[in-house]
Amino acid sequence: MEILREIEERKSYRSFSEKALSQEQIELLFEAARIAPSSSNEQAWKYYYALKGSDQFEKLCECLAPANLIWAKDASILVVSTAAKLQSNGKDYKHAWHDVGLANAQMLIQAVHLGFFGHIMGGFSSEKAIGAARIPENQEPVCMIAFGNIGDGSDLSEKLQQLENSPRNRKPMEEVVLKLS
């Protein structure tokens, strides 16, 4: 038994190649999110995206923290994921961010399966994203995601090249999984 290759190989790279994603690849990303599990099947997520080279892409770039903008501006697409504030019954949707996280994770795994990658970013202005993407009042921005094909790293600073080439570091199993007895 083994972990899926796509889970094992997923990494948040920062260097993008100039090769654009195809419309089919983009549709498959969002299909992976669309079919994600959710609390009471509420499907709390909405995605707003723009393609590199468009005015909307530039507006989404303006939402990014400077440390993310340095490299995310080279992505094929930028995405804002949002969560519903309320359930369909009008109650607070306390699991919405969890559900959006599941959908986002499925997108990341689908990207690896298709041969490219995604990098989730918390470093962005929610207020700017609401305006840039025209996000309605009943949704709140969760994160932004840059998707694209992996570049060679030559466009990155020395510090970012080191991060790009370093192995993915994770806490040991015994730190994150605790068996109750």
**What is the pLDDT at residue 169?**
87
Reported as a pLDDT band with limits 50, 70 and 90, residue 165 is confident
Q: Which of 52, 47, 42 is nearest to 31 (CA)?
A: 47
Average pLDDT, rounded, for the chain = 95
- The 10 Å Cβ neighbour count of residue 168 is 9
CA within 13 Å, CB half, 144: 30
**What is the pLDDT at residue 164?**
85
Contact 1, 133 (CB under 8 A): no
Stretch 101-116: mean pLDDT: 98
Residue 105 forms part of a structural domain: yes
Radius of gyration of the chain (CA): 17
Q: How far apart are CA 9 and CA 102, in angstroms?
A: 18
**What is the pLDDT at residue 16?**
95
Stretch 1-24: mean pLDDT: 94
- Supply the CATH number for residue 132's domain: 3.40.109.10
Residue 168 forms part of a structural domain: no
Q: Count structural domains, the chain.
A: 1
What does the pLDDT look like over 22-70, one tens digit per residue?
999 999 999 999 999 999 999 999 999 999 999 999 999 999 999 999 9
**What is the pLDDT at residue 86?**
94
Q: How far apart are CA 99 and CA 94, in angstroms?
A: 10
Residue 135 forms part of a structural domain: yes
**What is the pLDDT at residue 64?**
98
User: Is the pLDDT at 166 greater than 90, yes or no?
Assistant: no
Residue 167 forms part of a structural domain: no
Contact 125, 108 (CB under 8 A): no
**What is the pLDDT at residue 31?**
98
Residue 39 forms part of a structural domain: yes
Reported as a pLDDT band with limits 50, 70 and 90, residue 167 is confident
Q: What is the pTM of this model?
A: 0.94
Q: Which domain holds residue 42?
A: 5-152
Handedness of CA 51, 57, 60, 62 (dihedral sign): positive
What does the pLDDT look like over 124-139, one tens digit per residue?
999 999 999 999 999 9
What does the pLDDT look like over 136-149, one tens digit per residue?
999 999 999 999 99
Map tokens 């359930």 to a residue.
87
Residue 179 forms part of a structural domain: no
Residue 160 forms part of a structural domain: no
Lowest-confidence pick of 46-55, 78-87, 155-164? 155-164
